[in-house]
Amino acid sequence: MGVIEVRNLHKSYGRTKALNGISFELREGEVFALLGPNGAGKTTTIFIILGLLQADEGDVFVDGEKVSPGKYEYRKKIGAVLEENGIYERLKVRESLQFWGEIYGLSNQEIRRRIEELSEELGIDFLEKRGSELSRGMRQKGSLARALLPHPPILILDEPTDGLDVPARETFKKIVRKERENGKSILYSTHIMAEVEEIADRIAIIHKGNIVTSGTLQELQEKYGEKKLEKIFIRAIGYEL
Ligand code: ATP
């Protein structure tokens, strides 16, 4: 059984059907990419896994435990990077991280140690700046540091490299590889193909609320008879050139 199992999720917003029976699993120690165009249903899926949205139908299991409203114990196992990233405008980055460390129940000493460690690892040299003074990439790094503070075994990242420049993307890839080596299981969503080719162990292509195909890059290459993920993607979503 995977560390996260997503079974047959359905979700509508009014008349918009966002998810139409999404199922997949995140296996222990892997990097799993949810790859899909704008509006495919990636964020909706991630929000349901995190308990921030309720599905109309279907189940999510984390470490075999069914996620249901009011059950938040499982969330301690997951570090999440979402668009609303917990780096506060008026606080210095250090203060935002301290705040989250306390929320996560770490001791002051542990918080200080983790902040130093993570700033070094992630190249955060703006601990004394306020959230309002940060660029997008800086915020993303800050948000990633927040998610990693309590050493969660699972990471969920929603379009973490959106808007980042090339060096920041390289840093992100390095971090993902390193966290995977540390034994973390990582689920992340993106629409950037090159990155997926480089760091994902398995890929699910999501389109209009359905997973249209999934597997390792090699499996998808064999299935579609194409080498480049971009070509596979276009074929999988049935896009007519
Ligand atoms: P993107 O790559 O653009 O972030 P996504 O794959 O994360 O897209 P979702 O945000 O999950 O896609 O959206 C899936 C569908 O649900 C889209 O059709 C979107 O318009 C719709 N949707 C998402 N959030 C809402 C909402 N709060 N109210 C109404 N419709 C919504």
Among protein residues, the one whose CA lies closest to atom 20 of ligand 1: 39
Pocket flag, ligand 1, residue 40 (CB < 6 Å): yes
Distance (angstroms) between ligand 1 centre and the Cα of 230 equals 22
The pLDDT assigned to 171 comes to 82
**Is residue 229 pLDDT above 80, yes or no?**
yes
Q: Which of 6, 20, 43 to mutate to test the pocket of ligand 1 (most atoms within 8 A of CB)?
A: 43
The pLDDT assigned to 173 comes to 87
Pocket flag, ligand 1, residue 139 (CB < 6 Å): no
Q: What gap in Å lies between CA 187 and CA 189, rounded to an integer?
A: 7
Which of the four pLDDT bands, split at 50, 70 and 90, describes residue 185? very high
pLDDT (mean) for 227-241: 85
Pairing of strands 65-66, 78-81: unpaired
**Is residue 220 pLDDT above 60, yes or no?**
yes
Which of the four pLDDT bands, split at 50, 70 and 90, describes residue 84? low
Considering the chain, what is the average pLDDT of its residues? 91
The pLDDT assigned to 241 comes to 54
The pLDDT assigned to 75 comes to 83
DSSP the chain: --SEEEEEEEEEETTEEEEEEEEEEEPTT-EEEEE--TTSSHHHHHHHHTTSS--SEEEEEETTEEP-TT--GGGGGEEEE-SS-S--SSSBHHHHHHHHHHHTT--HHHHHHHHHHHHHHHT---TTSBGGG--HHHHHHHHHHHHHTT--SEEEEESTTTT--HHHHHHHHHHHHHHHHTT-EEEEEES-HHHHHHH-SEEEEEETTEEEEEE-HHHHHHHHT-SSHHHHHHHHTT---
Residue 1, exposed/middle/buried by CB under 10 A (0-12, 13-18, 19+)? Answer: exposed
In the block, residue with structure tokens 């971090």: 175
CB contact set of 42 (below 8 Å; sequence gap of 6+): 34, 36, 158, 159, 189, 206
Pocket flag, ligand 1, residue 43 (CB < 6 Å): yes
In the block, residue with structure tokens 């993902």: 176
Question: Which stretch of DSSP H or E encloses residue 59?
Answer: strand 57-62
Q: Which of 145, 147, 98, 99 is nearest to 125 (CA)?
A: 145
Q: Tell me: the pLDDT tens digits for 35-79?
A: 998 899 999 999 999 988 999 999 999 999 998 877 778 888 999
Task: Say which CATH architecture domain 4-83+154-237 belongs to.
Answer: 3-Layer(aba) Sandwich (3.40)
Pocket flag, ligand 1, residue 13 (CB < 6 Å): yes
**Is residue 240 pLDDT above 70, yes or no?**
no
Q: Tell me: the pLDDT tens digits for 108-124?
A: 999 999 999 999 988 89
The pLDDT assigned to 238 comes to 84
**Is residue 164 pLDDT above 80, yes or no?**
no
Pocket flag, ligand 1, residue 200 (CB < 6 Å): no
Pocket flag, ligand 1, residue 39 (CB < 6 Å): yes
Distance (angstroms) between ligand 1 centre and the Cα of 39 equals 5
Among protein residues, the one whose CA lies closest to atom 1 of ligand 1: 38
Pocket flag, ligand 1, residue 42 (CB < 6 Å): yes
Among protein residues, the one whose CA lies closest to atom 21 of ligand 1: 18
Q: Tell me: the pLDDT tens digits for 121-160?
A: 888 999 999 999 998 888 888 998 999 999 899 999 998 8
Name the token pair of 31: 């990097």
Pairing of strands 4-13, 31-35: unpaired
Q: Tell me: the pLDDT tens digits for 197-213?
A: 999 999 999 999 999 99
**pLDDT > 70 fraction of the chain, expressed in percent and rounded:** 99
